[in-house]
Chain A
Amino acid sequence: MSINAAPTGAEAAVEKTGQRATVPTQRGGRRKPPLSENKKAERKLGLLLCAPAALVMVLVTAYPIIYSFWLSLQRYDLRFPDQREFIGLENYVTVLSNEFWWTAFGVTTLITVVTVAVELVLGMGLAIIMHRTLVGRGLVRTSALIPYGIVTVVAAFSWRYAWTPGTGYLADLFSDGAPLTERASALAIIMLAEIWKTTPFMALLLMAGLALVPEDLLKAASTDGATAWQKFTKVMLPVMKPAILVALLFRTLDAFRVFDNIFVLTAGGNETSSVSMLAYNNLLRGLNLGIGSTMSVLIFLTVAIIAFVFVKLFGTAAPGSDDGERR
């Protein structure tokens, strides 16, 4: 029974980080150094209003996080339950000096950077198209969102069949080998599947940002002599910056936890494992709760660092903090 509890707990811990990160994010954006009495009272009220939600979250997330951390400090392999023992940070040394971990870490980082970058560009294009279309707007938006509506595992299976030699239409079209069995092409296919799946989500977030750009601002830029490109880079992007950062934050956190596509497409073969795959393999396949939990905690830390960096970016560079006062 406890076998299941640990991994779900660990996963939940990672899961929650993504959500928690948004809370300080928003607060960070509005932070103003000197607080008047009035502002203090307002802030107190704000904290009180947040308290119930925060409390529930602590209850739900704190236990699994603490429990995984506790597990990560032990030698605890379910195949050898007798050898269970407190060993301090030894698991961390083991993991961090392990080349599989670093390979997986590299793969995950690569997937994160490439997919998020491509998704940002494609998502922006899609968002603009969805925002601008006048005829058949509903149809355009709905069809653009279809990939996002499909369950990831289902989509992953259809990609797998498509790339399987003999039966798949894509495999026959693009290569004569088995692309999912070669590392480079397998990674490319994983990234393709990720991008196909989550670009609509990116587009949706960016479209909300586009709606923030007042029509008059673009008109003003037109009469001021801006070309379409200058309007985009000099007016739209700066105004959208907070929305872009939010979209990037969400997607980066999500992308770093990539699992389903890899699980279905390659099962981590040929060094295509992500860190989440590796943790899963150690926890559930290897039944090594100590090492698996250590990996979960490390993923948690990485995700926390990513969130922290984004929050810093918000704090310094959001023109929204200027805009915000006009609410």
Chain B
Amino acid sequence: MADIVLDKVSKSFPDGTVAVQDVDLEIADGEFVILVGPSGCGKSTTLNMIAGLEDISSGELRIGGQRVNDKAPRDRDIAMVFQSYALYPNMTVRENMAFPLRLAKLDKETIDQKVDEAAKVLELVPLLDRKPANLSGGQRQRVAMGRAIVRQPKAFLMDEPLSNLDAKLRVQMRTVVSRLQKKLGTTTVYVTHDQTEAMTLGDRVVIMRGGAVQQVGAPQELYDHPRNLFVAGFIGSPSMNFLHAAVQDGGLHTALGDVPLGDRVRRELEAADAPRELILGIRPEHFEDAELVDEDTRRRGIEFEAPVDIVESMGSDKYVYFTVEGERASAAELEELAADAGAADFAGAGGNLVTRLSAESPVVEGQSRRVWFNLEKIHLFDPTNGRNLTLHEGRAAGALAD
């Protein structure tokens, strides 16, 4: 067990691609850290550099306080789990799990004992004499985990280990991974595409984009206090709504009406180089049916009326989709997010507004409805660089803060 420190680590490939750029990351001993980001953002490359499977172009990597830039994978004492499982097809489950121990030249008795132990933890005992080809996807995944845990390495590196499993199995394996990591207390770096895995599994989440780290923090912190447009749009499902907002006499003109601004944001906007147009971001749960809001709360937000498109009743609450007129929010980050999620999943920047209203709301498809939203929870982004203007000392403070 050990901590892992990335100190300005960069990777450029011979063809000139810069896959990872100046990544600074300190992973504490025993911590479970998740790397997320869209496809091609450098997650696997980062992981491979930690494992020693890719050379580090510049910067320093320390495992357990020791510089390991030039150490071969076999001397770093880390175990890796792959999306493809990467089980040795010619070996049985037992031999697969024993392989790292055999290479470490342990005696046969110790090997057997350790393999049996790991097999018990992962419920693989009846499968020990099978070949990988005769296992189900979930079983193969557990064997891959088993091979990683048998030798008690300094760290686990996992590259989308659950992506090849179907939805149900993925949920099951998620808890297996989570429990295993807690039990063993081994430092773990976990790469995923999956929102839910990112939010539920790790102690901290690292969001990457184009090879650079966007924000590092606990899942809830990233959700509540996104540092920029990209993080705001990436975290959350359904994603945050983004609207075009024009700065006008100390307020904002948006498709949802005129939004008043507090002193702090106004001061920001008075600077000479301040943008004249912003992007307003608001999460679905910060809307409410205007009828159901009490007076006290009402004062903290504003209301608007729009035609209802679709109502999806979830039992506990309702997802209501509205059509709003007006200019679309546009920024490079939003396009990138839409491309990564597939246009259908990322409605954030379109003319569609996704809201989550109370189950009691009598909203009906095809009619117009008055909706209230909370100004204390909105985020304002600079479309040129994506910076969150409502963020103050790392906390999002809404539009009205003084």
Contacts and interface: CB of A to CB of B under 8 A. Distances in A.
Interface of A: 134, 214, 216-217, 219-227, 230, 234-235, 238-239, 241, 319, 322-326
A195 B48 CA distance: 40
A326 B100 contact: no
B276 interface: no
A127 to B, nearest CB: 19
A241 B89 CA distance: 12
Contacts of B79: 223-224
Given A223-B73, A223-B80, A322 B89 contact: yes
Closest 7 CB pairs of A and B: A322-B133, A238-B90, A220-B86, A216-B86, A224-B100, A319-B90, A222-B73
Contacts of B377: none
Given A230-B103, A238-B88, A220 B82 contact: yes
A224 B99 contact: yes
Contact of B82 (A134, A219, A324, A326): A219
Interface string B80-106: 101110101110000000011001100
Interface string B43-65: 00000100111000000000000
B131 interface: yes
Interface residues of B, number: 29
Contacts of A235: 88
Contacts of A224: 74, 79, 99-100, 103, 147
Contact of B53 (A217, A223, A325, A326): A223
Given A224-B100, A225-B104, A226-B74, A323 B133 contact: yes
Given A224-B147, A322-B133, A323-B89, A219 B103 contact: no
Which of A214, A219, A234, A323 has most chain B Cβ within 10 Å? A219
B78 A223 contact: yes
A239 B91 CA distance: 10
17 contacts: A216-B86, A220-B80, A221-B88, A223-B53, A223-B74, A223-B76, A223-B80, A225-B73, A225-B74, A225-B104, A234-B88, A238-B88, A238-B89, A238-B90, A239-B90, A322-B134, A324-B133
A326 B136 CA distance: 11
Given A219-B53, A223-B80, A225-B104, A319 B74 contact: no
A241 B79 CA distance: 27
Interface of B: 14, 48, 51-53, 72-74, 76, 78-80, 82-84, 86, 88-90, 99-100, 103-104, 131-134, 147, 157
A216 B84 contact: yes
Nearest to A223: B80
Which of B83, B86, B104 has most chain A Cβ within 10 Å? B86
B86 A219 contact: yes
Contacts of A325: 133
Contacts of B147: 220, 224
A235 B89 CA distance: 9
Given A216-B84, A224-B74, 14 more contacts: A214-B84, A217-B86, A219-B51, A220-B82, A220-B88, A221-B99, A222-B72, A223-B52, A225-B73, A225-B74, A225-B103, A238-B88, A319-B90, A322-B89
A235 B99 CA distance: 11
B65 to A, nearest CB: 20
A221 to B, nearest CB: 8
A219 B82 CA distance: 9
Contacts of B100: 224-225
A322 B90 CA distance: 8
B370 to A, nearest CB: 55
B89 A239 contact: yes
A13 to B, nearest CB: 37
A191 B233 CA distance: 68
Given A222-B74, A223-B51, A217 B103 contact: no
Nearest to A238: B90
A54 B99 CA distance: 45
Nearest to B78: A223
Contacts of B88: 217, 220-221, 234-235, 238-239
Given A219-B82, A226-B103, A227-B74, A322 B53 contact: no
